Amino acid sequence: MGRGWCFRQLWPVFAGLALAVAAIGQAPQITPKGLVNSASFATDTGRGAVVLPGWLSTLFGSQFAESAQAATGFPLPTTLGGVSVTVGGLPAPLLYVSQTQINFQAPSGIRGVTVPVVVRNRFGESQPITAFVAYDAPGIFTQGGTGCGQGAILNVAPDGSVTVNSPQSSASPGQYISIFATGLETPTFPPADGVPAGGEPLSRVSNGWTYVGSPGNTPFLVPSFAGLAPGLVGVGQINVRLPEDAPEGCAIPAWIRGTTVDSQPVAIAIRRGGGPCVKATVARSGKLAWKRTITTGPENDGVKVDEVFSATFVDGESSWLIPGRPPRLGVWATAGGRSDYAAPRCGSYFNGNNSAGELTIQSATGSPFLVKPQLSGQREYVYRSALSSGSIAPGTLTVSGAGTETVGPFRTSISPPPPIEVLTDFRPGTAIGMGKALTITWRNGRQGDLVLVRLRSGYGLINPSELLYSGLAQYVPAESGTVTLETRQLVPGHFELPLIPSDRFSVVVSHIPGSSVPFRAPGMTFDATHEWEYEFQFLGLRLGGVSP
């Protein structure tokens, strides 16, 4: 029942948005930024056009096919309606073609950092576009086939029966749900290209961690199953149990935490006992942030300084949009550091979708200037501006908002202290042995501030240019001036740092306030926050004597 619903609901995504017939007489053309994830319909913000071996992608353009056609059997054809697609020179199985859209499965055999993607029909071939071969780039299918809104999610009852999650049929806290996606990691036991996944054995992926609720307050949920959905091509399925204290509402955000990047957030309806959801009251808050990043390495070419101001004004249901928890001090925690790619966004119900009008910002140096909201493709407003060197420094940083009907006018100031000075020598090429404790020291830490230390071991994925970072993180009082990571007995009689040896090791030290400056504006439900951060990135280090 559930799989049948899934196939019927997802087929419009595979089959396209229209069935118009169009006569063409020229070679196909791919639209700039026209290669997107078939579930989120988003380009990858950090890597541009992306393909993932075995997973689904969509092309937008013109003059593709003379008529709309959908594949009707398996294995999927590599020519459909006189149209074919090659990825890295390999033929791609096709699900649907039309004049303006093609849905295809990326061949499992593609390799390399980047590959060309080409469309061919009887009139010629398109200019190739270059796609990055990624390890993962998850996207969740949506019921409307737009990439945002109600997710393609099933409610799974204790008796095994399933219903489509919707405002009329909510999932209950403590209940299992199934999320359908594409762009996960390479699965075990993958089927041949164009062939549906089987059920024996199941094709699994190692990740699939899922979040439901507030970004700052929700631990990830470990799936009971994550892998290829049986009976479908290039579609992933994640089965996860909602926590008993899951927030309730009609548009609770849910998203997949990928290895290199997260999926877009989709909406899920949650109500204890199921049935029609009860819409929670709308809550509104915001965040203003000044960040100065000082990067040393990875080569011996000096120090790079970046200074940025950013702001978001957040909308959401009050059941999940709640203030973040304070950090836990003095304890090393596992940090799944990644490549810091930005995830796709959906501003209609999740984060950063409001405008507060033009912001006037006054840095520590220079004259005041305006930062205007930028409207994204997901119809949300985001503020971001690069600053001149020296803008973020001791003194007063002021932000004034002109205000709109949603977020009223405001004025708020913060006074960052001088940054800490990291005393430990982390020049590029420094070798750090794993057999002894690692101590990091600094000075000028102001009482009440915090220091966040992150240790990251980088290792390559299927793409040599793409790194996964595994490491540790710890918050400590800034006035302590030091933190030590002790060795641990990983095997009997052998003590080492609990890190992965790497010739691409990095240390990141952040100096942050112990608490942000709160402020209110008309229309806000919760206090907004005004924050500063000094971040020191030491790249190009080696851990465990690994050769570069």
- pLDDT tens figures, 477-515: 999 999 999 988 877 878 888 888 888 899 999 999 998
pLDDT exceeds cutoff 70 at 463: no
pLDDT exceeds cutoff 80 at 322: no
pLDDT exceeds cutoff 60 at 270: yes
Q: Report long-range pairs for 413-418 (Cβ below 8 Å, ≥24 apart).
A: 413/517, 413/530, 414/290, 414/513, 414/517, 414/530, 414/531, 414/532, 416/290, 416/392, 416/513, 416/532, 416/534, 417/444, 417/446, 417/449, 418/393, 418/394, 418/444
Q: What is the mean pLDDT of residues 216-241?
A: 89
In this prediction, residue 376 carries a pLDDT of 72
- Alpha-carbon distance of 304 to 353, in angstroms, equals 32
Question: Are 279 and 255 spatial neighbours (Cβ–Cβ below 8 Å)?
Answer: no
pLDDT exceeds cutoff 60 at 400: yes
CATH 2.60.40.10 fits 2-133, yes or no: yes
Q: How far is CA 362 from CA 337, 396, 400, 411, 527, in A?
A: 33, 8, 9, 11, 21
The ranges of the chain annotated as CATH 2.60.40.10 are: 2-133
Count of alpha carbons within 13 Å of 476, Cβ hemisphere only? Answer: 21
Q: What is the mean pLDDT of residues 81-106?
A: 97
Q: What mean pLDDT, rounded, does the chain reach?
A: 87
Handedness of CA 258, 262, 267, 273 (dihedral sign): positive
Q: What is the mean pLDDT of residues 433-446?
A: 94
In this prediction, residue 295 carries a pLDDT of 95
What tokens does 141 get? 């299918």
Lowest mean pLDDT among 41-55, 107-121, 179-193, 419-433: 41-55
pLDDT exceeds cutoff 50 at 157: yes
Backbone angles phi, psi at 114, to 5 degrees: -135, 155
pLDDT exceeds cutoff 50 at 426: yes
Q: Pick 62 or 345 by higher pLDDT.
A: 62
Q: Each residue of 1-41: pLDDT tens digit?
A: 333 333 333 444 444 433 333 344 689 999 999 999 999 99
Residue 461 banded pLDDT, cuts 50, 70, 90: low
In this prediction, residue 377 carries a pLDDT of 65
- Alpha-carbon distance of 216 to 322, in angstroms, equals 8
Most confident of 260-264, 311-315, 385-389: 385-389
Residues forming a β-bridge with 266: 254
In this prediction, residue 206 carries a pLDDT of 84
Residue 58 banded pLDDT, cuts 50, 70, 90: very high
In this prediction, residue 17 carries a pLDDT of 34
- Alpha-carbon distance of 398 to 449, in angstroms, equals 20
In this prediction, residue 11 carries a pLDDT of 42
- Alpha-carbon distance of 343 to 264, in angstroms, equals 6
In this prediction, residue 13 carries a pLDDT of 41
pTM summary value? 0.82
Residue 260 banded pLDDT, cuts 50, 70, 90: confident
- Alpha-carbon distance of 171 to 161, in angstroms, equals 12
In this prediction, residue 381 carries a pLDDT of 84
Q: Each residue of 357-370: pLDDT tens digit?
A: 999 999 888 789 99
Question: Are 233 and 195 spatial neighbours (Cβ–Cβ below 8 Å)?
Answer: yes
Q: Which of 274, 281, 320, 9 is nearest to 168 (CA)?
A: 274
- Over pLDDT 70: what percentage of the chain? 88
- Over pLDDT 90: what percentage of the chain? 61
Most confident of 54-58, 403-407, 469-473, 493-497: 54-58
Lowest mean pLDDT among 53-62, 386-395, 459-468: 459-468
DSSP code at position 220: P
